Amino acid sequence: MAVETELKLHISPDRLQRLKRHPLLRSHTVGRARVLKLYSIYYDTADLVLQRNAMALRLRRVGKQWLQTLKGGGRSSAGLHQRNEWETPVPAERLDLEALKLIGGKLPHGARNHLQAVFVTDFTRNVRLLDFEGARIELCMDTGEIRAGQSMCPISELELELISGAPQKLFKLALALIEVVPLEVEHTSKAEYGYRLFSASGPAVSKGKFAALTPSQGVGSALQALVASCLSHIQANVPGALLKLDEEYLHQIRVGLRRLRVVLSVARRFQPEPELDVLYGEVSGLCIELGRARDWDVFVTQTLAPICARLPEHEGLRDLLGTCERMRRKQHAGVENSLASQDFQRLLLRFGVWLHHDKAESPKPMLEKFVRKILEKRSRQVMVVGDALSNKVPAQFHALRITCKKLRYSLEMFGSLLPQHKYNAYLDRLTVLQDILGTMHDISVAHRLLDELENTSRHDTLALVRGWMEHDYAEHITLFNRNWAGFAKQTKCW
């Protein structure tokens, strides 16, 4: 078994030709470039049991030679794909599962006798060996297509495969290439695109989870794993958000960025680094931009639309809703531009460099002790702010919402290390409290948005909306008071 380590980048076909001719490649190329014609057939069962087990089985023709390859396991972070690979030559266009078994490749139970061809990839690969900052990297420039039945999607991508050296050199090379031509970090493999064609589906909404941790991990290693899981969550949802398939994609990007910001705030205190401060600042900027878009989303869908539904004949409300929808679309367009920008791609690649450079962990604090310290600090902040509350000061409720959110994300970050029954009970109470505070904050934000929309012709309509929201806010203060006492008295789970 080998472990394949590669970084995938999407590139438009015209820019691929420009890159091939660029002096940067010539200055690092070792030997002559090779051109290969690669035709691959991917196999799975009718119910796609291999895909459900995160595996891919293919036959690939390279010249006159057929190769059989099984890929599975491994991980992906910041666009870097690391997968286990079992590969062996076969004499013809036919699977040889006994040969696969001999080299350690194992299919899911029951799959062996039900395999069928599900899609093919057919592309030309320009291969160059590069010597870059002491690492040997194979640069593959692929152009062609993926076919499943009558469906097809194009291939135009770079694969940077690490032959020797440190994985971070892949990201540094990509950062050099992105200054030559626009590139996008590719989170999706050719096999995954093939499966989407076969099943006529789009990218699934990813509701990512924090990485599971173990008590034996060092703190630095644990924080790296948490950052990587946040990045995967964000990247998995970007394509769907840019295609405008569903608003849930953008919501999940917001969640992923907020989680990432909390992890980075912990990492900065544990091991201060100038680059980490810069990354934290850029993530915070994205959080603010997506937060503005969310403000209009919530106001339109959860405040204004229900009022309009109750008063459908109110012309002023219909006019206000139309204006707010336009403001909402404008905010969304700004966010989509940011996610589609080369600055966002550079951010992902710089995270890759940070994640994959060696970090000394000396002295090495116990992870569980570190976690208890973090959670105790977050909990204390919640109690201090909560005990000082006044029902008449929205800013204090906002401050409590922020401290509750930080506590919740910290709990979720380290939840795999805590007693699950106690953890779930504590998190449930905290989530209820945070949801109440979140609704109260949304109402406060809605008042600010109404101030932006204020003019003489809308005065009566805006007053109607404000009255509705003030009634809702008073109900949530009562709800908060009812839940705060129970939360404050509960036993901690760490």
Is the per-residue pLDDT at 361 higher than 60? no
Reduced to 3 states (helix: H, G, I; strand: E, B; else coil), residue 89 is: strand
Has domain 366-494 been given CATH number 2.40.30.10?
A: no
Confidence band of 456 (pLDDT split at 50, 70, 90): confident
Q: Which CATH superfamily is domain 206-365 in?
A: CHAD domain (1.40.20.10)
Is the per-residue pLDDT at 364 higher than 70? no
Per-residue model confidence as pLDDT tens digits over 441-451: 999 999 999 99
Is the per-residue pLDDT at 362 higher than 90? no
**Residue of 378, 493, 478, 339 whose CA lies nearest to 426:** 493
Is the per-residue pLDDT at 242 higher than 80? yes
Mean pLDDT within 453-482: 93
**Residue of 191, 190, 223, 192 whose CA lies nearest to 206:** 192
Q: In this structure, are strands 135-148 and 151-164 parallel, antiparallel, or unpaired?
A: antiparallel
Topology given in CATH for the domain delimited by 2-201: Hypothetical Protein Pfu-838710-001 (2.40.320)
In the chain, ranges of CATH 1.40.20.10 domains:
206-365, 366-494
Per-residue model confidence as pLDDT tens digits over 57-86: 999 999 889 999 999 876 666 677 778 899
Amino acid at 63: G
Mean pLDDT within 144-164: 96
Is the per-residue pLDDT at 289 higher than 70? yes
Is the per-residue pLDDT at 56 higher than 90? yes
Mean pLDDT within 35-52: 96
Is the per-residue pLDDT at 212 higher than 60? yes
The Cα 332–Cα 324 span in angstroms is 12
Quote the pLDDT of residue 80. 79
Is the per-residue pLDDT at 432 higher than 80? yes
In the chain, ranges of CATH 2.40.320.10 domains:
2-201
Quote the pLDDT of residue 77. 67
How many other CB atoms sit within 10 Å of the CB of residue 276?
Answer: 17
Mean pLDDT, rounded, of the chain: 93
Burial 185-203 (b: 16+ CB within 10 A, else e): bbbbbbbebbbbbbeeeeb
Cβ atoms of 105 and 67 within 8 Å: the answer is no
pTM score: 0.91
